[in-house]
Structure 1
């Protein structure tokens, strides 16, 4: 299961190697965490607060075989390092469940936090609309590759992606045709993603998901 999850998530980063863009060249670059971690090369690297709100209606794609993720009110995502195997470990908890490792990634690969966030958007949209995950994933990758570095806001960069704004199939996507992905990051430390937000712009009746960096005390 972990191997399948890692392969699926890494597939989001592969087009960067062939056709990168300003944004993907910064935040999707492989090896951003090669030198990250505690002085001994291990331990926790980044910690995020995680929330997810889903539409209250029955998903149209219930028969697609894609499992719809559960809503999350108070979740955590932690990226840490395993120096013995030169791996990055991604751990999750949600609404009181214990923090547990869900996947391990090569230390010289793309950012697992970003990959997980983007794949969550793919899974949610697939399950809610019945659309093809491959088509949805490709549109998101293309919007990431085509994006500039974003607007400067108080020392950070904020990039907004609209993967389906000009899509010829937008009318079949319901609220997800309006999906906006907002990526806030530190341009001087591109591995430091400050906030990730997915939003269909339909309030409590739509889909929203966020991951916010928990600053070190």
Structure 2
């Protein structure tokens, strides 16, 4: 339900300037899952994607560690998203393929939950700052990623939701939150990686919190 709520909030905002609109369109591409049904090796014509998810730097009592996220296209043109940890699994919902790849919504929601719990800040305030950041100009850099034994041209889109926030001084190290999404037309599902980082201390170089979701190549194992 929280993922769906954030999806509704994010998709309900208006259009910003051209550069900001480009940022939003890159991050929330509605055709992200196009052609997934035809992926080689899929079962009964259904496509599947598997992502590794690693979280570090959480406070005691928060759920960190290594997980997998599986996406599978269903015959009714919905995509089922499932979270795996060891032998355990939990369904994360079913979403229309036409809405794009839901992994980005899960990523944003999990990061929001983590940093609000650690910082003690209002999740509603932080959600609004992230929404605003999605409609501002972003840092977009050309990069190369290695996938299926070949180099692929991609773009890394980075936003810093609290860089110019009026409450920045009260947020401490969490004001340095960076959200970096690496994406490409040549990557199944559009997203190669989604990474959130917060330094260990204000102005420090070491990473204190990291939430990273990275696509597995076919043949690397699936849940």
Same fold (TM over 0.5): yes
Residue of structure 2 in register with 1:63 after alignment = none
Contact 2:73 2:80 in 1 (8 A): yes
Q: Which residue of 2 aligns with 1:90?
A: 81
Cα shift at 1:149 = 6.8
Distance 1:103 1:162 in 2: 28
1:147 to 126, 134, 137: 137
Whether 1:42 aligns to 2:46 is: yes
TM norm structure 1: 0.80
d(CA) in 1 for partners of 2:120, 2:132: 21
Structure-2 residue corresponding to 1:62: none
Give the structure, 1 or 2, with the largest relative contact order (CA under 8 Å, sep 6 or more): 1
Per mean C-alpha deviation after superposition, the further-off stretch among 34-43 and 128-137 is: 34-43
Secondary structure in structure 2 of the residue aligned to 1:99: strand
Q: CA offset at residue 80 of structure 1? A: 1.1
Tell me, in whole angstroms, the C-alpha distance in 1 between the residues paired with 2:185 and 2:138: 12
Instruction: Tell me which moved more, 184-193 or 195-204.
Output: 184-193
**Equivalent residue in structure 1 for 2:54, among 36, 39, 51:** 51
The equivalent residue for 1:64 is none
2:8 match: 11
Is the Cα contact below 8 Å between 1:27 and 1:190 reproduced in 2? no
Offset of 1:166 from its aligned partner? 0.8
Query: Which residue of the other structure, out of 195, 198, 201, is the alignment partner of 1:197?
Result: 195
Structure 2: distance between partners of 1:184 and 1:117: 13
Write the deviation string for residues 53-108 of structure 1: whole angstroms up to 9, x where unpaired. Answer: 13446xxxxxxxxxx75012x21011111113x311111112x1333422111222
Change (3 A) 1:137 1:167: same
Mark the runs of 5 or more structure 1 residues left unpaired by the alignment. 58-67
Within 2, Cα distance between the matches of 1:148 and 1:168?
19
**Deviation of the 1:6 alpha carbon:** 4.2
**Gap runs ≥5 in structure 2:** 145-152
- Is the aligned partner of 1:25 residue 2:25? yes
Distance change in 2, residues 1:8/1:18 (3 Å): same
What corresponds to 2:63 in structure 1? 70
CA RMSD of aligned residues (A): 2.6
- Residue 12 (structure 1) shift: 4.9
Judge conservation of contact 2:181–2:194 (CA < 8 Å) in 1.
Answer: yes
Aligned to 1:216: 218
Q: Which residue of structure 2 lines up, in the alignment, with residue 181 of structure 1?
A: 179
